[in-house]
Amino acid sequence: MKIAILSRNSNLYSTRRLIEACKERGHEPEVVDPLKCTLVMEKNQPSIYYKNRHLDDIDAIIPRIGASVTFYGSAVVRQFEMMKVFTAVESQALIRSRDKLRSLQIMSRAGLGLPKTVFTNYASNPEEILHALGGAPVIIKLLEGTQGLGVVLAENKKAAISVIEAFNGLKARVIVQEFIKEAGGADIRAFVVDGQVVGAMKRQAKEGEFRSNLHRGGTSSVVKLKRAEKSAAINAAKKMGLGVAGVDMLQSSRGPLILEVNSSPGLEGIENATNLNIAGKIVEYLERNVREVKRIQKDKINA
C-alpha cells in the first residue's frame, strides 16, 4: 500500500515510528505536510496537489495533525475522504476531539465517568461556579490549551476566584473541574486502535506538580487496566468516532474519570513505557480496512 503520513515534521518520534512500521510491513510510506497541500474541488473530481503532483495513488492516510493547524489539517483529511481514501482518523472526529467542551458533552451524554465540570459565558460571579463544584480546590483549564498548557490548580476559594476573573478579563474561555485528590497527581493513558486497547501507561507527576505530562517532568510506567478502565477507554474512543485515540483518565473512588480523548496521541511515551509496537498496530488497522474497502469495491464491480 501507499500510505501518506500527514505530518509537518518527518523527524518527530511518532512520524519516524510510523514510517518504520509501514516499511516493516512491506508498504510505501510518504510524509505529506498538510499545510503544503492544495485542495481542488470540482464536480465529482476532488483532488489534492502536493509538490507539483497529484496525490492520486494513496491507499490510506495516517493524520498527525497538530492542534494549531486543526482547521486546514482537517480540511485535507476531508478531501482525502472525498477521494475514497481510508483514514486512520476521520475529519469530523478530529474536529470533535479538539473541542474540549463538545467532547465533555458527548461523554456526559454517553454516560461515561468524568470529573464534574462547569462552563459559563464569562461568569460575573465565580462563587456560583465553586458552589456548583462543592468548593475548592479546583482545576481551571483553557478550552484551547494543550499538553498541560493553560491548566491551573486553584487550591483555595480566593485563588480560584482570582484565576477565573483573570481569564474572564482576558476573554479566555475556561472550564472548571473538581480536583480528584485520590488520583495523587497521576493519570492513565490508554491507547485505543480499532476498538481495542493496545497499550496503557500510568503517568505520575513530579513532586510539587499536579500535571502528569511527560514533557513536564512526569514519569511513566506500564499499567494493567481494570475491566472498568478498559471499557471506559474503548467507549470514549467509540463515542468520539476515533479509530485511533489516546484516552486520558483518572483513577477515582467512583471509578475511572475521562479527562480527554486525544486524536493525535504521541507514540514515544506509550512505546517506551510498554515496549510494544503501537505504530505497527496502527498500520495493521489500515491494512484490515483497506482490504475490506477493496473487497466491497470488487463486489460492486462484479455485481
pTM of the model: 0.89
Cα 273-278-279 angle, rounded to 5 deg: 130
Specify the higher pLDDT residue, 249 or 182. 249
The residue with greater pLDDT, 205 or 73, is 73
- The pLDDT confidence band at residue 237, using thresholds 50, 70 and 90, is very high
Q: The cell 481495542 sits on which residue?
A: 196
pLDDT one-digit tens code per residue, 185-213: 899 999 999 999 999 999 987 765 556 56
| Least confident piece of the model among 125-134, 144-153, 239-248, 266-275 | 144-153
Burial of 38 (0-12, 13-18, 19+ CB in 10 A): middle
Mean of the per-residue pLDDT values of the chain:
91
Q: Would you say residue 289 has pLDDT above 60?
A: yes
Q: Which domains does the chain have, with CATH numbers?
A: 2-89 (3.40.50.20), 117-179 (3.30.1490.20), 182-263 (3.30.470.20)
Cβ neighbors of 68 (< 8 A, separation 6 or more) are none
| Sheet-wide strand order for 47-50 | 37-40, 47-50, 53-54
- The DSSP bridge partners found for residue 30 are 4
Using 50, 70 and 90 to split pLDDT, how confident is the model at 219? confident
Per-residue pLDDT, averaged over 248-276, amounts to 95
Q: Find the mean pLDDT for residues 12-36.
A: 97
